[in-house]
Structure 1
Amino acid sequence: MSEGTPNRDYKKDPILTPVKLPKSPAAQCNQRNLTGAPRVIRDIVADLHSNIQIWNDIHTKGVDQVWKYMNLKLTTTEIYTLELDLSMKEMELVKNDLRNAYNQFNLLENRCEAFSKLPNMPSPVFFSLSAKEIYKLFGEICEAYRKESKVKNFVIENMAHTKDNDEVRFYATCWTWPVNLDRINIKMESLLIETGHRPIT
């Protein structure tokens, strides 16, 4: 170190003092041993992630069905055929599965909202977010899936009745690329990290 280099005492310099964050319930104990509201919120986030995985599986199954229906529709001049009818019934089953997943999103959101309104909740609940901030993220995720559910219902309800091949292709595309879910993965990962389901790297 040259003579011109300033030599600071980091322990005494207030500008360079490390930031001290309050200890949260999650930081004070093993994530697996959480109790009370933090444990319940952590479990609700895990259930949300599981429901998204179920939704993704249903979506993938639906992609196969709508493209199968589209190909049948494009290769026949008939408006209704037995094959088209059977294919549409399979799509209705997918729609029912999506409805169940949709209802689960609503149930989980209501549970998360209830905990966000409890008095004397620690803040932050885990590492950085308050209960209300966790609920805000949670609600944004659920709302995105609600919007996407409306799109998928619209596709199934209208695909069978169109006579225009371009419309059929449009409906298949709408199902395949869920534009309402852009950036949802980032929000879900944020919740998983916040609640200790993902390690902080």
Structure 2
Amino acid sequence: MNANAILSFLLFQYGNEMEGKSPGNAKTCRKPVLNNSARKIKDNAADWHNFILKWDKLNDAGFTIANKIVNLKINKDAEKSELKLECEGPALPSPDTKPPGPNPELQEECTALLDIVEKMAGLVSKMEKLSSSVKGICELERFQCGEGGRASPLFNTWTTAQFDQVSSRLCESYRQELKLKQTTVQEIAHTSDRNLSMVYLSAWLYQPYVEDCTKVDLEGMLLETGHRPL
């Protein structure tokens, strides 16, 4: 795809109108493009905030379910151990004694946790679209203004490239965290190691890929776009 085709696609995507071309200055961008780009970035910042709030609520709900799963699994394993001791004891087990079967409550909680992870995957998909849209704005700006970008920032101090970098970091953090959740939901109901179960619970609760700098990035973006008072 040539440069003109890329530009046409990006302008169509963001609703920009190609009017009023400023003469004689390679660093001067078209005003309608800048206004639309700034509005799009500001909307994206609000979306990031809302998606992360939803993620945090899902994480809390998922931890509650995961904790139930671990407790149910521990109790089920304890029942198996008691039955094994009875079978190995001097007295023969009663003919009516049956090994514990599948636990319907455990299966129900596992299904609920899978549903939580699927909703998280949906949020990550939306986050990827946010990151992609900011990257598109950067490409459009470079095409219009050159590799150095525009002369003045869209908001206070951040360049458009900084918004792209922050969006990419946020997206990668939650993408990696989702992979950890997916691994956890596959393993947590099957492990017989109590300590390993506690590791899975801790990993779910504390989210190692969502670091403090991730929250700082979000707050910085909200400040820069005016969603937080300076």
Same fold, TM-score > 0.5, yes or no: yes
Q: Which segments of 5 or more consecutive residues in structure 2 lack a partner in the other structure? A: 1-33, 81-100
Partner residue of 1:135? 164
How well do the aligned residues superpose, as a CA RMSD in angstroms? 1.6
Q: Distance in 1 between matches of 2:39 and 2:178?
A: 29
Could you report, residue by residue, the CA deviation over 1:123-169 in whole angstroms, capped at 9, with x for unpaired residues? Answer: 31211111011110111111111111111111001112212222212
Shift of 1:175: 0.4
Does structure 2 retain, via aligned residues, the 8 Å contact 1:49–1:188?
A: yes
Q: Does 1:86 align with 2:108?
A: yes
- Please say which of residues 80-89 and 107-116 is displaced more in the overlay: 80-89
Q: What pairs with 1:13-162 in structure 2 (closer than 5 Å)?
A: 35-77=35-77, 80-118=102-140, 119-120=144-145, 122=150, 123-162=152-191
Q: Distance in 1 between matches of 2:217 and 2:131?
A: 15
Q: Distance in 1 between matches of 2:40 and 2:127?
A: 16
**Amino acid corresponding to residue 107 of structure 1 in structure 2:** K
Does structure 2 retain, via aligned residues, the 8 Å contact 1:112–1:135?
A: yes
What SS does the corresponding residue of 2:121 show, helix, strand or coil?
helix
- Alignment coverage as a number of residue pairs: 167
Q: Distance in 2 between matches of 1:190 and 1:173?
A: 28
Q: Distance in 1 between matches of 2:159 and 2:107?
A: 50
Q: Does 1:182 align with 2:211?
A: yes
Does structure 1 retain, via aligned residues, the 8 Å contact 2:70–2:189?
A: no
**Amino acid corresponding to residue 103 of structure 1 in structure 2:** S
Runs of 4+ aligned structure 1 residues displaced above 4 Å come to: none
**Amino acid corresponding to residue 199 of structure 1 in structure 2:** P
Q: What pairs with 1:156-171 in structure 2 (closer than 5 Å)?
A: 156-171=185-200
Shift of 1:63: 0.9
Q: Distance in 2 between matches of 1:145 and 1:39?
A: 24
Q: Distance in 2 between matches of 1:83 and 1:168?
A: 18
Could you report, residue by residue, the CA deviation over 1:70-111 in whole angstroms, capped at 9, with x for unpaired residues? Answer: 111112225842221111011111111111111111111111
What SS does the corresponding residue of 1:181 show, helix, strand or coil?
coil
What SS does the corresponding residue of 2:76 show, helix, strand or coil?
coil
Identity of aligned residues (%): 25
- Work out which of the two has the higher radius of gyration on C-alpha atoms and give 1 or 2: 2
Q: Distance in 1 between matches of 2:169 and 2:46?
A: 16
Q: TM-score normalized by structure 1?
A: 0.78
Partner residue of 1:193? 223
Q: Which segments of 5 or more consecutive residues in structure 1 lack a partner in the other structure? A: 1-33
What SS does the corresponding residue of 1:89 show, helix, strand or coil?
helix
**Amino acid corresponding to residue 151 of structure 1 in structure 2:** L
Q: Distance in 2 between matches of 1:96 and 1:80?
A: 24
Q: Distance in 2 between matches of 1:116 and 1:127?
A: 17
Q: TM-score normalized by structure 2?
A: 0.69
